[in-house]
A and B are shown apart, each in its own frame.
Chain A
């Protein structure tokens, strides 16, 4: 250890030595403890661990390092890791914030294994896992919040106002970037609290609301105006914002937002929830804390969650924490086709969540009070690949079976929310109701109106929405400077 420290002082650790250091996993709450509480799962790195992990980066010499190519918001990953290695954590935080205003969130919820860490040169070698870029990002963001000054002073000197519709990841990114460029920015949020999916969807144990509020406060302190309880399309329309309220441009980041159901008999029974409802009750309305908050949620014996994406993992792990004795995943494909992050699946399994594959629900069964008591499912087998490239599940005849349940959560995805699109003439939609917007600029077919995130792409990830927000901010600035559409 001492030897390593000494080497580190003059930063002369050679590549070979760097590759010998083992990847540091974050210490976490033990599964048997955390499965019954809503506290965050990992504790995060200590400064020593962060510095050690930073040493694993071999500081690739290429013009754009591989890891950065994998980052939707182009964080100078090499730069911030180098600063961590030197022990200058606050400078590392500033380095990240040059391109990303929400590092504590991204460090927690980004699928790094599919992005920066997937391309990491260290990780591409046979025996060395990638540098833990996400864990390092999280560490410096938390360190800065504790010991540094997160305030950013900006001057709104551009004399132009931009309206951002939806306070989720895309909207927050656009707002932050435009504010830094000197625009006056207003966020219009339909719910009583901003954050979008970060607030209503992602549970406390994965993203503590305190951390979200901390990053939101930075935006507010920067001068971003926040209007909650405003449903654009209902309270105001986009045309009113542009024509009457003095906004020169509008960014729409309203998310995908409207839950898909299975369309099978019995879905209307009590105790059958969409993942959005289940998670909104617990996260936004804080139903997990029933002694203080008024919104109710049921606790029962068996919960089955249908689906195998990140939302399904969030729902099933939430169910366990609420007190369901048995919380399970039923998925119509196999383990291989699951879309959830491996880390989430791993955490869920550690906590005792059972995964059952190649199972498809065909009907829900209720009691005389129309409360769900069971679900009938059929077994599936995998056939040829479908349009998603994954093998299509096909029902096995005569394989039906009944499972007793106390509640069911349907986490099979979302559709486009119609409120903004329907109230905005002149803005074209695709056949699924999502807004048509240029991938690189976010421009819609309506002058002055930009869009990005799930309302354009369909349900994706927080970081992709943020990436779309970054691009849109650049092109909104260009539009407002040049006036050309």
Chain B
């Protein structure tokens, strides 16, 4: 059992959890993920690690409530435990001195980009981070991201903070209008955002890394559920990734594969909510 030792609501149905998992905390590197199961009959879901603390042995994750599993998770409090947590899985993000790196986080993808931005800055890169949210009060981890970056740019859909628009608007302005020389872009967020970022950087031939989040079961290369098409070849996101070259990823295929169980997920969530509210 893996105890929840910290929990914070971040708004928009997003919660932050500190989970006691010392073995994972001492090993995890930026870009890696865990797989968790809330209870013994639950499904296994992959979640990127936002932070680790080797001293207190905790792993921090941000989770958005979208279905039954994440809803059950959202109802757990400090002192409750998860049935299973395994990791750190996947190949860590490549951290080298590249020069100028743009780190883009959309939605709760900000949690995943945060440790990467920090490690890149520590390795001597100029890190320009771009994060986005619908509105100012929904922006995640702004202070952490500011500290982890050389420069932080913000986009909000309603224009309440930073640039009015989405993260790709800010990126476009940066590389097309300001002509900032960029050596690498790393983008984590909704598939549609990673696709848009990759399309923008392709013309500029800026190497772009994206972190993919397909449906997974074991997370160790055993089942192949998480296979993605990269350069028209089959890759397993769990052991070959989760980072891939954004210019080679077939994002449409990924979006379709993510939708495969939508009906079942919806039914399961509705059933759960119904049972939940009627005792």
Identify the B interface with A (CB < 8 A): 23-24, 27, 37, 41-44, 68-69, 83-89, 217-225, 227-229, 234, 236, 239, 250, 252-253, 256-257, 259-261, 264-265, 268
Quick one: which of B87, B221, B227, B268 contacts A296, CB cutoff 8 A?
A: B268
* A151 interface residue (CB < 8 Å to B): no
Quick one: which of B87, B221, B234 contacts A417, CB cutoff 8 A?
A: B221
**1-20 of chain A: CB within 8 A of chain B:** none
- Offer 25 A-B interface pairs, CB within 8 angstroms, sorted by A: A191-B86, A191-B218, A234-B87, A234-B220, A235-B23, A235-B24, A235-B87, A258-B239, A268-B227, A270-B257, A274-B223, A274-B225, A276-B222, A277-B217, A277-B224, A280-B218, A284-B217, A285-B217, A293-B41, A294-B68, A295-B43, A298-B264, A370-B252, A370-B257, A417-B220
Return A366 CB to nearest CB of chain B, in Å: 9
Residues of A within 8 A of B250 (CB): 268
Residues of A within 8 A of B27 (CB): 234-236
Residues of B within 8 A of A259 (CB): 222-224
In this complex, what residue of B is CB-closest to A369?
Answer: B256
Quick one: which of A267, A273, A284 contacts B234, CB cutoff 8 A?
A: A267
* A355 interface residue (CB < 8 Å to B): no
Q: Beta-carbon contacts of A214-246 to B below 8 Å, as 1s and 0s?
A: 000000000000001111001110000000000
Contact B217 A281 (CB under 8 A): yes
**394-415 of chain A: CB within 8 A of chain B:** none
Indicate whether A280 sits within 8 Å of B217 (C-beta atoms), given known contacts A234-B88, A285-B44, A419-B239: yes
* A44 interface residue (CB < 8 Å to B): no
Indicate whether A369 sits within 8 Å of B259 (C-beta atoms), given known contacts A236-B23, A268-B253: yes
Residues of A within 8 A of B85 (CB): 229
Q: Measured between alpha carbons, how far is A389 from B268 in the docked complex, in Å?
A: 50
Q: Measured between alpha carbons, how far is A419 from B234 in the docked complex, in Å?
A: 18
Contact B260 A268 (CB under 8 A): no
* A257 interface residue (CB < 8 Å to B): yes
Return A48 CB to nearest CB of chain B, in Å: 40
Indicate whether A294 sits within 8 Å of B41 (C-beta atoms), given known contacts A267-B234, A270-B260, A369-B256: yes
Contact A418 B221 (CB under 8 A): yes
* A33 interface residue (CB < 8 Å to B): no
Contact B224 A276 (CB under 8 A): yes
Quick one: which of B89, B217, B253 contacts A234, CB cutoff 8 A?
A: B89
Contact B89 A231 (CB under 8 A): yes
Q: Measured between alpha carbons, how far is A235 from B225 in the docked complex, in Å?
A: 22
Q: Measured between alpha carbons, how far is A296 from B43 in the docked complex, in Å?
A: 9
Return A225 CB to nearest CB of chain B, in Å: 15
Contact B259 A190 (CB under 8 A): no
Residues of A within 8 A of B218 (CB): 190-191, 200, 280
Contact B257 A268 (CB under 8 A): yes
- Further pairs besides A280-B217, A280-B222: 4, Cβ < 8 Å: A192-B86, A200-B222, A277-B217, A296-B43
Q: Beta-carbon contacts of A249-263 to B below 8 Å, as 1s and 0s?
A: 000000001110101
Residues of A within 8 A of B83 (CB): 192
